[in-house]
């Protein structure tokens, strides 16, 4: 049984405006402080995965930095996490995905990224071990991962996600956000500015502004389980924890802690993307 849950739907991941508040954003930021933080993170972790016979990497950067915007907070800081998709070679993402999924020249590739917008449970977080190296089985369970990987799509299907019943108890903690990672067309009919080469920064989360010395937000992002479900014709779930310390139920990285990632969906996101919600 497939359960319909709240989805955030969008067009292609694009650059967003300058920082305007905390929350989830699909796309990259052109705010100078955010750009520099992503280039020089405090901590980072990358895991490999495959689409067909092509190798990809999912990278998570976590940083704490001083915001450029004015604030009344003394010694201000922001914590943020940044998601990127990487692949080898100098081919575009469109052409790489088309080759990975064995598409003909006339077929337009599809690649969506879907992710939980809520913090996950202590048991799900602790189910992931460093040796898993991107494999979600320990965290999400064999049935959930198998059901995800058996899900297929038509190439013209819009980006949106309905979780298999085997996954809802683990991932349905605040809705699923979804965005397309591809420009519409192959590299042959896209301008040079539209051709996406590796890496593609497709999502970031940022905290509210806080005073230096409060490491709650940074701890949350560096210790929590990050899950992305990539989907073209086929589906590829990928998991990573930047730090794999054992967590207790009061950890800010888990759903048992006060607050969640869905506390503030940034107005910037809604301006930057064509978005809507499907409700159960």
- The string of pLDDT tens digits covering residues 92-119 is 999 999 999 999 888 999 999 999 999 9
- The answer to whether residues 56 and 86 touch, using CB atoms and an 8 Å cutoff, is yes
Q: CA dihedral defined by 25, 81, 255, 224, rounded to 10 degrees?
A: 150
Dihedral angle at the C-alpha atoms of 166, 45, 258, 216, nearest 10 degrees? 170
How far is residue 71 from each of residues 65, 67, 212, 268, measured CA to CA in Å?
14, 9, 13, 18
CB 58 within 8 A of CB 240: yes
3-state SS class at 29: strand
Say what the pTM is: 0.85
Rounded-to-10 torsion of CA 144, 132, 26, 39:
180
Q: Domain map of the chain by residue range?
A: 2-278
Contact 67, 19 (CB under 8 A): yes
Q: How far apart are CA 241 and CA 184, in angstroms?
A: 32
Residue with tokens 């895991």: 47
Question: pLDDT of 200-223, one tens digit each?
Answer: 999 999 999 999 999 999 999 999
Burial 187-220 (b: 16+ CB within 10 A, else e): beeeeeeebbebebbbbbbbbebbeeeeeebbbb
Is 223 in contact with 246 (CB distance < 8 Å)? no
Worst-scoring range by mean pLDDT, 95-109, 157-171, 225-239, 263-277? 263-277
Q: CA nearest 265: which of 203, 180, 181, 205?
A: 205
Give the pair of three-digit tokens for residue 153.
């799509």
Query: Average pLDDT for residues 126-153, to the nearest whole number?
Result: 97
CA–CA distance, 244 with 1 (Å, rounded to integer): 32
Write the pLDDT tens digit of every residue in 45-96.
999 999 999 999 999 999 999 998 888 999 999 999 999 999 998 899 999 9
């Amino acid at each position: 049984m497939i359960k319909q849950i709240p989805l955030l739907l969008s067009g292609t991941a694009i650059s967003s405006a300058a920082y305007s508040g905390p929350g989830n954003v699909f796309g990259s930021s052109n705010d100078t402080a955010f750009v520099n933080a992503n280039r020089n993170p405090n901590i980072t972790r990358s895991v490999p995965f495959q689409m067909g016979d092509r190798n990809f990497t999912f990278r998570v950067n976590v940083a704490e930095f001083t915001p450029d915007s004015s604030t009344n907070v003394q010694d201000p800081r922001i914590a943020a996490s940044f998601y990127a998709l990487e692949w080898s070679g100098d081919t575009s993402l469109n052409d790489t995905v088309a080759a990975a999924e064995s598409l003909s020249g006339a077929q337009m590739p599809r690649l969506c990224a879907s992710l939980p917008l809520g913090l996950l449970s202590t048991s799900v977080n602790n189910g992931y071990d460093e040796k898993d190296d991107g494999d979600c089985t320990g965290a999400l369970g064999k049935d959930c991962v198998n059901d995800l990987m058996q899900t297929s799509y038509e190439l013209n299907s819009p980006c949106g996600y309905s979780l298999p019943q085997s996954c809802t108890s683990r991932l349905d903690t605040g809705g699923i956000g979804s965005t397309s990672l591809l420009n519409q067309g192959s590299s042959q009919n896209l301008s040079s500015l539209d051709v996406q080469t590796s890496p593609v920064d497709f999502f970031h989360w940022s905290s509210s502004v806080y005073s230096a010395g409060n490491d709650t937000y940074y701890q949350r992002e560096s210790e929590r389980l990050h899950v992305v479900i990539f989907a073209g014709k086929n589906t590829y779930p990928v998991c990573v924890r930047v730090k794999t310390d054992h967590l207790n139920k009061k950890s800010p990285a888990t759903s048992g802690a006060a607050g969640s990632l869905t506390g503030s969906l940034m107005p910037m996101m809604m301006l930057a993307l064509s978005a809507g919600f499907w409700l159960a």
